[in-house]
Amino acid sequence: MTRHDHQTIRAARVYLRVSTEEQDLARQEAIVAGARAAGYYVAAVYREKASGARPDRPELLRMVADLQPGEVVVAEKIDRISRLPLPEAELLVAAIRAKGARLAVPGIVDLSDLVADSAGVARIVLEAVQDMLLRLALQTARDDYETRRERQREGIAIARAAGRYTGRKADIAQHRRIVSLREAGISIARTAELAACSIAQVKRVTALHRAKAGIAPTHPVRPGQD
């Protein structure tokens, strides 16, 4: 393969995330087609239903582990990648960069090519500008998350004061998936991974299901067991 071939073949890994069962990953599927239309070879697509404020998203972690030098991470927006607090978000981006990869996300100004063609003070300035813009985007995504949560809390407080708050609706589809996985003999940890939820939630849903079904609780799980 010639040097020109290495330059023209651009590989991408596409990360698609929604927060709840009510949202649909299909809306983001056009991103895959868009990446191909932009000239990228799509090495893999990672689909996940989980909050962007969670650092333990299985598909996100799998994508980072799969990254190869020179690849790009494609997503609908930066908040699809992260709604984490800034220090944690920067660690995530650092992990992506450590693999020799970079972000290709709408709204993020990518100065990588300019940086590569620069040297000395110009390179330092461009790298600083790139880091500043990315940090700003990550912080904006987190601020938006915090604003949404604050509005939600205010709405709940108002509803409670008016006697109209009935509590958060259970995610029935996810609960059924958790129960099905556990009844199939899947471990707690693996169920949490497959259902894109926490281990604590798997335990809560399982206990609730057993209580409703009149099933006696199992013996407590010992350390190191599922």
In the residue annotation, 19 being an active-site residue is answered as: yes
- 19, 51, 118, 187: the active-site residue: 19
3 state SS for the chain:
CCHHHHHHCEEEEEEEEECCCCCCHHHHCHHHHHHHHCCEEEEEEEEEECCCCCCCCHHHHHHHHHCCCCCEEECCCHHHHCCCCHHHHHHHHHHHHHCCCEEECCCCCCCHHHHHCCCHHHHHHHHHHHHHHHHHHHHHHHHHHHHHHHHHHHHHHHHHHCCCCCCCCCCHHHHHHHHHHHHCCCCHHHHHHHCCCCHHHHHHHHHHHHHHHCCCCCCCCCCCCC
Q: Catalytic amino acids? A: 19
